[in-house]
Amino acid sequence: MIVSVIIVAAGSSKRLGGKLNKPYLHINGKPALYYSLKTFLAVKSVKEVLVVIREKDENIFRKLLKKYKFFSVKYTFGGAERKDSVLNGLNALENKKGIVLIHDAARPFVSIELIGRVIKAALRYKAAIPVIPVKDTVKYSTCGSFSDKTLDRSKLFLAQTPQGFDFELLMKANLKASAKNIMFTDDAMLMELIGKKTALVSGGEDNIKITTKADLQ
């Protein structure tokens, strides 16, 4: 079994503000990216870890790899949009078969157990993502000012990463989205584009995504 990991760290961090990109903000004295790298490298079935970074962050990223001795980690540069960054990552992988996990660098607290659940489901179904159930009542509004209806929260889930896919399937879907210039916010949307159902596995409440300053706290 070949499992490769692509960590997407090429975003602009606009909603967080500040000059430093989210993956390099310190949490308990270490960059956020350190934690997910350490976790993925500890998973025995993972054969390759590649990070997609902004070209302007190359120096700080290389210093991180050297400081924490992540010598096996590879990297490539991102594109204008997330879809471009993921495609760049897929093309840069040495292992172009098996299962590929796509993970957001802004989720530093992913666990080995969660990764294992995604890999197991991806091997069986070729597409799998971790989710957590929606706890709050969800309102739908077409204008953003008045509620049109209440959605059934028992059928709603919040998607997390890493999301796992058969490499060839994800590449096919990504190329199709790029050809049609279709934007997507997670890779499971690509499976919907080609009519492939994605398996849901239990995510983690601690697997938060750092988006705002409150999240960083």
Asked if 39 and 110 touch (Cβ cutoff 8 Å), the reply is: yes
pLDDT (0 to 100) of residue 186 = 93
Cα angle, residue 78 at apex, residues 74 and 82 outer, rounded to 5°: 120
pLDDT tens-digit series, residues 126-140: 999 999 999 999 999
Q: What is the DSSP secondary-structure string of 5-55?
A: EEEEE----TTT-SSS-GGGSEETTEEHHHHHHHHHHT-TTEEEEEEEE-G
What is residue 94's DSSP assignment?
Answer: S
Domains of the chain: 3-216 (3.90.550.10)
Average pLDDT on 120-125 reads 98
d(CA 175, CA 178) in angstroms, rounded, equals: 5
pLDDT (0 to 100) of residue 12 = 65
